[in-house]
Amino acid sequence: MKRTKEILTAAGTMICAAGIGFVMQNSEAAEQRYGGAEGRPIADHGALLEVESITLTSGEFENTIALPETDAQLFKASAPQSLPPLPETHSAAVTAACDIVADARPTEAAMVELSLDAACLPNERLTVHHNGMIFTETTDAEGQLQVTVPALAEEAVFILAFGNGDGAVAQTSVPDLADYDRVVLQWKGAAGFEIHAREFGADYGDDGHVWSGAPRDRAAAASGQGGFLTRNGNTDVAEPLMAEVYSFPVSTATEDGAVALSVEAEVSEANCGLEIEAQALELRDQGAVTTRNLTLAVPDCDAVGNFLVLNNLLQDLKVAQK
């Protein structure tokens, strides 16, 4: 008899963290969860593979950078050594002085509208750093960049760094950050990671299931409907740095309960047979940002179309009405 759902618990290695749940779901179960008609490639595989070599660490994926004085407007320094290597760009050929100006402005739902003016660096790759979060963007043909970023600190400092060492700093105050809990998942390249948030008992596909296929928007948080999902990073550049953020408005919660959080990754032609890394950042109860790092060996390419589900990399949110 054909099975409608198959789950296999994987063997793994845990370091500096405990209690991570990991399962692999075949394409038929995935189609029940997500549907196969919305652009997701769903393969037909009857067998499940045992997945090994799951490693959680505490430091190997860190992207630390020393912040300048908070009243600084501009800076010029070498790119941090902890950043992944950047591809060669034409910015190294720029010899004239380049005035680079960045600006940050708070907006609703504890988000920040970040802008950059770098007229002599058009169509140029850069990285954005903010309180442990890092992602890749690109200036337009006029050297401009405008992007909306979730704040991770009330006194929010953003560093925008080009590969040639040029860059700028912007800062702003985000007083309503205290109204939100946030979880960040960040990775490099086509690792295929996703955050899935199931609010107050919602199942996959329900209105309370928030993920990249149903991200909601900031208006949902303002109205008390629930959380929303954002993604930063330009996938059009080589080996992009990506950051996906789930935000929940704890101050406007309309019911008590839990938000179940999981990290999932689809096995694709881009990541099959590879070792992929991710980092989770969590900001809760107005505390400090906590960090967990993941290294995962993806099954071989005959498993393309299956999904890897990590249930406990992110801790579930406990919500109480205020």
Could you please report the per-residue DSSP string of 229-242? Answer: EEEE--TTSSS-EE
Q: Which residues fall within 8 angstroms of residue 91, CB to CB, at 6 or more apart? A: 121, 124, 162, 163, 164, 166
Instruction: Note the residue count of the chain.
Output: 322
SS3 29: helix
Token digits of residue 90: 């034409």
Nearest to 133 by CA among 154, 157, 155, 113: 157
Q: Which domains does the chain have, with CATH numbers?
A: 7-61+177-319 (no CATH), 74-175 (2.60.40.350)
d(CA 259, CA 224): 14
Contact assessment for residue 285 and residue 181, using Cβ atoms and an 8 Å cutoff: yes
- Helix/strand/coil for 87: coil
Identity of residue 54: I
Note down pLDDT in tens along the chain; length 322 residues. Answer: 322 223 322 322 233 333 344 555 555 555 555 454 343 433 333 333 334 444 544 443 454 434 334 333 333 333 333 334 444 433 333 334 578 999 999 999 999 999 999 999 999 999 999 999 999 999 999 999 999 999 999 999 999 999 999 999 999 999 999 999 999 999 999 999 999 999 999 999 999 999 999 999 988 887 778 999 999 999 999 999 999 999 999 887 777 888 999 999 999 999 999 999 999 999 998 788 999 998 888 999 999 999 898 877 888 888 877 6
Q: How far apart are CA 148 and CA 107, in angstroms?
A: 9
pTM: 0.77
